[in-house]
Structure 1
Amino acid sequence: MPIPREATPVDRSLLRDDVYVRLRDAIVDGTFAPGEQLRDVELAAWLGVSRTPVREALLRLGANGLVVTSPGRSTVVSQIDEKSLRDARDVVAAMHELAVREVAGTLGADDIEAMRAANRRFADAIARGDVAAALQSDDQLHAVPVRALGNAAVEQVLSQFGPVVRRAELARFGVDGLASVERHEQLIALCESGDAAGAASAERDTWRSLPTTIRDD
């Protein structure tokens, strides 16, 4: 067949990101359990892609601490280590605390409403028992101050350690999600009023309240 002289190239970076997100979320939500072996051939078939983006995604997941690869051996989902989880939680808490402290009182009405809308979706998801949707809404709420800050270094740190912390969030939202709704409302009110110290403290306490052990049931 004749090859067109001009064609829109496939966005390979987008493909890599999509594969990474799918595998990351499957680990976070327990689809792939700790200790489970991950074979790139099977993952590629599952996702309908070649093995290359799967291998690249596994490398990123290794850097995030979600998988472990031994030289000459297979890749497995990492065990949930209490110290690693606590360390990641504290780093994530510090980044979100920094963002809120810097932007409290400067967020626009659209930003505040975006946070409130995310919390409404969060509350609705908790009421339905949809933990995955609750996690997504929680991410959207906390992303507003981070996005407003516009600090690429903060965003990079959260990208690296955030997925580890999501495992703890998955456990927390299955137990006391309603308490998180109240924490969110307090945080939003403090941001809106311009109480930077109070908002930073509320944000820090929210993240540091995450459990560092995961229930087996």
Structure 2
Amino acid sequence: MFLFYFLYKYFTNLSFRDEVYQTLKKAIIMLKLEPGQRLNDKELAEDFGISRTPVREALKRLEDEGLVESVPGSATRVTPLKPEEAKHAFIVVAALHSLAARLAVPLLKDSDIKMMEVSNNNLKVSLEQNDIIQAIQADESFHDVFLNAVGNSEIRLALARIVPKVHRLEISQFGSIKAFKSVEQHNQIIVACQKRDSKETSRLVEENWLSLGELLIKQTD
């Protein structure tokens, strides 16, 4: 099922290993590969039309990130959704985004705040249309304003490792939650940014992520 996508990307000169990794990661986050689903490196290599080595390397990277796990006496599988681990992930994500916001506020331009307003409106529309993918992208765009302003690669690297776990839970529970609270919370964050209040913005950003995490985890109990 991955072959045609892979061939397209192959001609953009991405390495086998990186392309397999990115494709499998996306499939896991989007729940195309379901929690608990077994992953056979031989079968995946046949799907991609490549040798097993890049597949094994990709699976190892995904295991290091907690998206794949090896079960003794069984094949590698997609890591099941675990509410307790998700709770821990949201705490870290909230803290990192809060830090980015606190550092970013003094650096924000009027155009940055305008971008936040546009992203939040896109989030509202996506939620109204029940489009989880667009909603996640709009939410990322909103918070990326802070990350871009700060330009701290260490914060981005740390988030890149954890956020996929958060997105997987968001997608799995999207149909059963009411996420419009985030839109209003974003509006409050924008007002704090307009006032150039770093402390309040940081607090609101952390609250935004933690409240979403609590809501999603409650649905999995």
TM-score class normalised by the smaller sequence? 0.7 to 0.9
Aligned residue in 1 for 2:203 = 201
Aligned residue in 2 for 1:54 = 55
Q: Do 1:20 and 1:57's aligned partners in 2 also have CA atoms closer than 8 Å?
A: yes
Name whichever of 130-139 and 164-173 sits farther off: 164-173
CA distance in structure 2 between the partners assigned to 1:24 and 1:144 by the alignment: 24
Shift of 1:70: 4.0
CA distance in structure 2 between the partners assigned to 1:191 and 1:182 by the alignment: 14
State yes or no: 1:164 paired with 2:165.
yes
Q: Do 1:104 and 1:190's aligned partners in 2 also have CA atoms closer than 8 Å?
A: no
CA distance in structure 2 between the partners assigned to 1:153 and 1:18 by the alignment: 23
Q: Look up the SS of the partner of 1:34 in the other structure.
A: coil
Query: Residues 137 and 21 (structure 1 numbering): CA distance in 2 closer, same or farther, change over 3 Å?
Result: farther
Name whichever of 86-95 and 33-42 sits farther off: 33-42
**Where does the alignment leave 5 or more consecutive residues of structure 1 unmatched?**
1-8
CA distance in structure 1 between the partners assigned to 2:49 and 2:194 by the alignment: 45
Equivalent AA in structure 2 for residue 200 of structure 1: S
Give 1:184's match in structure 2, choosing from 186, 195, 202: 186
Query: Residues 112 and 35 (structure 1 numbering): CA distance in 2 closer, same or farther, change over 3 Å?
Result: same
CA distance in structure 1 between the partners assigned to 2:50 and 2:153 by the alignment: 30
Q: Do 1:100 and 1:191's aligned partners in 2 also have CA atoms closer than 8 Å?
A: no
Q: Do 2:173 and 2:219's aligned partners in 1 also have CA atoms closer than 8 Å?
A: no
TM-score by length of 2: 0.82
Aligned residue in 1 for 2:44 = 43
Name whichever of 193-202 and 141-150 sits farther off: 141-150
CA distance in structure 2 between the partners assigned to 1:188 and 1:69 by the alignment: 43
CA distance in structure 1 between the partners assigned to 2:89 and 2:33 by the alignment: 20
Q: Look up the SS of the partner of 2:106 in the other structure.
A: coil
Shift of 1:105: 3.4
Query: Residues 43 and 144 (structure 1 numbering): CA distance in 2 closer, same or farther, change over 3 Å?
Result: farther
Aligned residue in 2 for 1:213 = 217
Shift of 1:57: 2.4
Q: Look up the SS of the partner of 2:179 in the other structure.
A: helix
Q: Do 2:31 and 2:172's aligned partners in 1 also have CA atoms closer than 8 Å?
A: no
Map 1:18-167; keep pairs closer than 5 Å. Answer: 18-47=19-48, 50-70=51-71, 73-167=74-168
Shift of 1:172: 5.8
Equivalent AA in structure 1 for residue 62 of structure 2: L
CA distance in structure 2 between the partners assigned to 1:109 and 1:16 by the alignment: 41
Shift of 1:162: 0.9
Q: Do 1:38 and 1:77's aligned partners in 2 also have CA atoms closer than 8 Å?
A: yes
Percent of residue pairs identical: 36
Aligned residue in 2 for 1:3 = none
Query: Residues 20 and 108 (structure 1 numbering): CA distance in 2 closer, same or farther, change over 3 Å?
Result: farther
Q: CA RMSD in A?
A: 2.5
CA distance in structure 1 between the partners assigned to 2:120 and 2:209 by the alignment: 16
CA distance in structure 1 between the partners assigned to 2:37 and 2:74 by the alignment: 13
Query: Residues 36 and 49 (structure 1 numbering): CA distance in 2 closer, same or farther, change over 3 Å?
Result: same
Query: Residues 95 and 118 (structure 1 numbering): CA distance in 2 closer, same or farther, change over 3 Å?
Result: same
Shift of 1:104: 1.1
TM-score by length of 1: 0.83
Aligned length: 207
